[in-house]
Homo-oligomer: A and B are copies of this chain.
Amino acid sequence: MAAGSGFGNLFRVTTWGESHGKGVGVVVDGCPAGLSLCEEDIQIYLNRRKPGTSKFTTPRKEDDRVEILSGVFEGKTTGTPISMVVFNKNQKSQDYSEIASYYRPGHADYTYDCKYGFRDYTGGGRSSGRETIGRVAAGAIAAKLLKEMGITVEAYTKSIGPAKTPEEIECYLEECMERNDSAGGIIECVIKGMPAGIGEPCFEKLSANLGKAILSIGAVKGFEIGDGFFAADSTGLTNNDAFYYNNEGKVEKKTNHAGGILGGLSDGSDIIFRAAIKPTPSIFATQETINKSGENISVNIKGRHDPVIVPRAIVVVECMAAITILDALLMNMSARVEHLKKFYER
């Protein structure tokens, strides 16, 4: 709610921080008490979004070390807010006067100025990719708790541009870099071990909240669940998943076109969704744009750019999914009178 930096209902995440400020961070309010948690649990996830691990990610060094400032006592979460921070160490003193004077195509420069009357032009401010650090730190906690419940969230690259295999992808990205261009791609995510019946009807459907979570990540332009856009071309006979009792008498579905969600609630199958990531807007090639003096100009944006952000966005997708799933599991605990009564009989 409110000004946009908070997400979730009972597991509530609030992120803060700019690319070139003192740091970036997150406050997690509503994490249940009693979860074993240390900084290393978070760091493992943060390391996965680190640049510089291949020739297709920016060579800049981001040695992001997370600190837990509150909410953990003797190695366990206390139920009170967990504040985490990563101090920015790589703030090169740089001349931003040029970039401050014009609006980069494909970036939020122009729209931020329209909204706020001015903007923090150093490194993209709040619209920087570093904003995702807070999401990943919070998501690492959610994912850890889910794992203890037998629920796993795993995302991976489905395609980069038209390329689908490692060889094709390497080849395609080299072509992009040669012409100072960039690439997009598709990330797929699978959630295993979900109980059935999770989510809320109507506006808080699990699919709607997963969609919002993923579409709130900077470069995401599309979201689909199960067969997604392909389902629009299918028919009821094909698209309906037949229920059956398996040998142990457990309910299963013969197919999973629905992607694990029916009527907004989980159906006990794997939840599968995909996110479309646009090509990185920062490219070295010359581009047309406008400056703040009312002129149409050509620009060459300097700096360090990832030719593709898909590899680094994978962990962000996983983390946003984990936050959403955990929040839905917490919300669901109060769905039935019988559970409420049993809970308080203890």
How many A residues, CB 8 Å from partner? 169
Shortest A117–chain B CB gap in Å is 5
State whether B215 touches A207 (Cβ < 8 A): yes
The binding surface of chain A is classed by DSSP as mixed
State whether B240 touches A283 (Cβ < 8 A): yes
Shortest A241–chain B CB gap in Å is 6
A223 touching B226 in the complex, CB below 8 Å, given contacts A29-B5, A243-B103, A243-B290: no
State whether A115 touches B215 (Cβ < 8 A): no
Please list 15 pairs of residues, one from A and one from B, whose beta carbons are closer than 8 Å in the complex, sorted by A's number: A4-B203, A10-B331, A16-B71, A21-B71, A22-B70, A23-B70, A34-B338, A69-B85, A79-B201, A112-B197, A184-B233, A208-B216, A223-B223, A231-B276, A243-B288
Give CA–CA (A282, B126) in the complex, Å: 44
Decide if A336 is an interface residue (CB 8 Å cutoff). Answer: yes
Residues of B within 8 A of A277 (CB): 231-232
Residues of B within 8 A of A340 (CB): 32, 145, 149, 329-330, 333
The 3 closest A-B pairs by CB, nearest first: A108-B263, A4-B200, A114-B197
Give CA–CA (A263, B14) in the complex, Å: 18
State whether B212 touches A115 (Cβ < 8 A): no
Give CA–CA (A294, B245) in the complex, Å: 7
State whether A239 touches B106 (Cβ < 8 A): yes
State whether B344 touches A23 (Cβ < 8 A): no
State whether A341 touches B149 (Cβ < 8 A): yes
State whether B184 touches A239 (Cβ < 8 A): yes
Residues of B within 8 A of A82 (CB): 16
